[in-house]
Chain A
Amino acid sequence: MRALRGIRGSFDKYWYGWAMAAPVVIVMLVLVGYPFFWGVYLSTTNADESNIGRDIGVNHIAPTYKSVGLHNYWDILSGNDGHFYSTLSWTLIWTFVNVFFHIAIGLGLAILLNRKIRFRAGYRLMLILPWAIPGFVAAFAWRLLYNDNGVFNAVLKFFGMHGVQWLSQPTSAKIAVIAVNVWMGVPFMMVSFLGGLQTIPSELYEAAEMDGASPWQRFRMVTLPGLRPVMMTVTLLGVIWTFNKFDVIFLVTEGGPAGSTDILVTHAYQVAFQNIRQYAEAASYGVVILSMLIVFATVYRRSQAKLEVQA
């Protein structure tokens, strides 16, 4: 009896909270949880377009794929599929180079904008514009610049050089997509750092100046430590976003030429939806990508927490 009252008591007490949180939790469980476990299951089968089963008119064709255990993972991780390690190394380069330039350029511009200078609001507005443009519009804009008959080649020819087929050679295509993504990502970092810089008390700078610290020492001893919380957040977000940055690669090069600019997510997408749809292999790629991100986020958080304890 008492136990029953206890249950009813907790229901009375908590049902508002449950009711208000329920819609989101249900949406997440149905649209993320279920597909996630379904994806993990698919990754252990040989499902593809031909055997997944479908409805044609009123006829239902039953699925005929079967379990293959960890074969797909073995195929990917042993390098047998011929794409994983080359794509992975390019994905890591892509992520590192992008995040490095985002942070370096964003921080540099934020420090310049944080000074008392004329036209500050005007500069800020112009520098933030790449963020205000929808990503797919920006991607097409850059494709126009890179076009064989585009403005970059016109400039090269004006100076008597040969035009470059920017998006048709692996190396220049890689540089091209990185340039697009750096261009798109800098404003977010700049604005985040600008917010962080404004929280550093100016007394700290004055005290450092009294102690005779050089500008470089002030930057290292006052600015960087003051930006630590922001730096940690934007690095984590930046790595996760860049690692999964689908639209720039997909819209600018479609992974080409010959898959050389494909990162893991776009490669998985091509596997899933181009030519014969290899659902199982794509799902395995998905699980591998997610595992890597979880490992990264955990290690990163741990190391940051350790630094905080030491500081």
Chain B
Amino acid sequence: MSRRHHRNKRSPLASAAIHATLIAASFIAIFPIAWVALTSLKTGNGQWAHPGDFSHLNFGNYSKVLNDTDFLTWFGNSILVSVLTMALAVFIAATCGYAVSRMRFPGYRATMWLLLIVQMFPIAVLIVPLYNLMSKLHLVNSYAGLVLVYLTTAVPYCAWMLKGYFDTIPIEIDEAGKVDGLNPFGTFWRLVLPLARPGLAVVAFYSFLTAWAEVAFANTFMQGSDKYTLAVGLRTFVSQYKGEWGLMTASSVLIAIPAAVMFLLVQRNLVAGLTSGSAKG
């Protein structure tokens, strides 16, 4: 009974239990990542297969990945495809998001509905017909084809989220623009877009990551090692026939560090947009 004075007062036992739970959960969250980082430092053939042996720690795997494999090519391909996807997706999603946020036009409801329904589409419905379509257009095994495909996954969410963001920008800004003689494009470009920078940063990041981490399409569409993205290329390190876990872990670390840093910088905004955006629908 006495425990119920105030929520901030807690018995030492309860505190210890909370900390113990959180420490255990944090350990589970971190362990696989830490283990990969540790294994990446174990140089030498098959050294990864001795989990308890930490005698040969150095950066040998890293220099091997960078010098003797196509890792840098794949990295470049991934960057190229992701940046193109990001730039195109943000641009067209922003104009569309603004249109559905501010203007009521015939087809408005249909557009909103389209954005929602496309977010639900499973790749399996589309991967075969898209593959046929792309091979008809000779876009299989090309960066352009992959970027176009990624737009279908990135754009609906980005437009949806940016609409939510534009909704929070006061309409008086638009009216002021109108009074100053700007047409809607001008208002959008000069007044609203600069104010929407945080929202734009989040969708830019989201669309970048969509392309960066995609597996199924990249695996189907890209057919030569010179065109592989990271998600496809990494698979070649460990297959039925070989297990180059040293190379695999070293490249995992090289990929994960920039991704994790960027992620941690924007994640608060990402969640807010994700849940508020779809809750309104």
Contacts and interface: CB of A to CB of B under 8 A. Distances in A.
Interface of A: 10, 14, 16-18, 20-21, 23-25, 27-28, 31-32, 34-36, 38-39, 42, 52, 54, 105, 109, 112-113, 115-119, 123, 125-138, 140-145, 147, 149-151, 154, 158, 183, 186-188, 191-192, 195-196, 205, 209, 229-230, 232-234, 236-237, 240, 243-244, 246-247, 250-251, 264-265, 268-269, 272-273, 279, 282-283, 285-287, 289-290, 293-294, 297
5 contacts: A20-B103, A24-B115, A142-B32, A149-B51, A183-B32
Interface stretch (B57-65, B193-201, B245-253): B245-253
B150 to A, nearest CB: 10
Given A145-B32, A154-B51, A16 B18 contact: no
B260 interface: yes
Contact of B107 (A16, A21, A128, A273): A21
Contacts of A126: 26, 29-30
Given A16-B183, A289-B122, A290-B125, A125 B108 contact: no
A51 B155 CA distance: 34
Contacts of B126: 32, 35-36, 39, 286
Given A140-B234, A272-B127, A183 B29 contact: yes
A117 B15 contact: yes
A20 B51 contact: no
Nearest to A250: B215
A21 B219 CA distance: 32
A257 B128 CA distance: 24
B127 to A, nearest CB: 7
A164 B51 CA distance: 15
Contact of A127 (B29, B216, B231): B29
Given A27-B155, A140-B248, A268-B124, A145 B49 contact: no
B55 interface: no
B100 interface: yes
A214 B235 CA distance: 53
A307 to B, nearest CB: 15
Contacts of A290: 121-122, 125
Chain A interface mostly: helix
A229 B275 CA distance: 9
A269 B264 CA distance: 33
Given A135-B213, A140-B238, A183-B28, A265 B123 contact: yes
Contacts of B183: 16
B152 A20 contact: no
B125 A286 contact: yes
A283 B133 CA distance: 14
B209 A20 contact: no
B92 A23 contact: yes
B107 A151 contact: no
A195 B238 CA distance: 39
B93 to A, nearest CB: 7
Interface string B87-130: 00000110110111001111110010011001011111111111
B256 A133 contact: yes
Given A21-B96, A283-B128, A38 B252 contact: no
B132 A141 contact: no
Contacts of A287: 125
B116 to A, nearest CB: 10
Contact of B18 (A105, A112, A283): A112
The 7 lowest CB-CB distance pairs between A and B, nearest first, are A286-B125, A17-B105, A17-B103, A149-B49, A35-B129, A20-B99, A24-B96
Contacts of B104: 17
Contacts of A39: 125-126, 128-129
A179 to B, nearest CB: 10
A149 B51 CA distance: 8
B124 A132 contact: no
B99 A35 contact: no
Interface in B110-163: 111, 114-115, 118, 120-133, 135, 148-149, 151-152, 155-156, 159
Contacts of A38: 129, 132-133
Contacts of B230: 136
Given A32-B118, A141-B32, A16 B124 contact: no
A159 B221 CA distance: 46
A167 to B, nearest CB: 12
A129 B215 contact: no
B48 A16 contact: no
A150 B249 CA distance: 13
A234 B29 CA distance: 21
Given A135-B213, A141-B32, A230-B275, A36 B125 contact: yes
A144 B245 contact: yes
Contacts of B231: 134, 136, 247
B70 to A, nearest CB: 16
A161 to B, nearest CB: 15
A129 B124 contact: no
B260 to A, nearest CB: 4
Nearest to B39: A144
Contacts of A186: 29
Contacts of B99: 16-18, 20-21
B72 interface: no
